[in-house]
Chain A
């Protein structure tokens, strides 16, 4: 079936899966369930609410972790011809307000874990005239209740959606320090979710634990999950994965390499503790919930050895590759088609070519562009071809191999992208720092600093190492966890420079 909009996918869900559970999630000590029919009705209710509030078709920001309210707000927005702007809930408030302004957001739907952001919206984001709390039971003077909006606006809603219209803006780290708003259309996301049939039967149980403001989770966990008729269990916190694996017993799960490596360490430990000759499959069942068969890996490169290691435990790992600008999946290994060392076969809706060793891709999932950044867009898209910034090649059977990275971006094992320039620009403002270089050092972010000794002397600083560590600690306190610098090196001479006087990155 040819579906090219998120509206069609939700409609397909209610017609095909009806009363089957679409979502399961914890509410205090019990498990709540929402069916495909409820998802359809609730997202329409949210669309109706937007219409009543005069916000239909506008840019609506979603700020929070994965919850039913977030998901309904998302589809309610996109399926009423609006544009959803998912925001990273880990960012400092100032950074969030800036993104809300840059994305021309007119309405904010927020989780109470970031009540601080909502409280500052009137002052910092004057174009936002409507603020909705995902948890509030009742409307207040300044904040509307998501639950009330749904209750008060039940009923049918339909508006014509064009597949190529914008529906989502996702901010991703830029290599020059400024984050870029990737514009994705209905077709970009729907095609990415649908074009590769992974032969997963309806009724399969998954657990979603990656951040929903990342498009890997949004497209593959949520949109593809809803298209396929999966029951999607929501992990409530990264602290509780182990516990929730036991509660929800997923059969399939999307992970990033950091978590895969950690789970493997757990399995090895379990082997050591178990009686000799206990079958490894039995150990895996006990350790990972009981029914886990498949792990899809994305977000960062996974050492191919893990595929064999998990195979011993009866679990298949399917490694894929992509980027936000491609909605995101460009290639994926499959149960019946996989090659060790490759990042999978090109998606059916994707073509690839190599230009000066760099992988370029083209297809219906390539983004519309960067929001209000025409120069950056022109540098990244050329005649519909997306320049990935990754070095690689495609073999004769269409399997993709990544050999390196052209762009200056740190990609951590948890899939987060960090721009070294962003951190360097921020820290360079400190008078104690003359020159700074930020890099990935064995999976953690390292800063190498050449201090301004003249300033240090005048300021009476006797221990420069200690002083710079304080600078780093203050910086880290204001940063989300994944942008923190965990290793500091102090040098006593200037960095080697290029002829253009820029620090040479080795």
Chain B
């Protein structure tokens, strides 16, 4: 996940989000990662999340009770 991240863009976005005081540090990291990414990187991250929870394939999802 982090391999595909543009670290410079992430750092710039993270700095920008520092002015939002109502964000916790982990929220700031989460939003900085998401907002600094390209749509393809965001989608890759989303698919990685599903895979990490065993929800990517239909057979895996069925085991969780999805259609």
Indicate, yes or no, whether A interacts with B.
Answer: no
* Chain B interfacial positions (CB closer than 8 Å to A): none
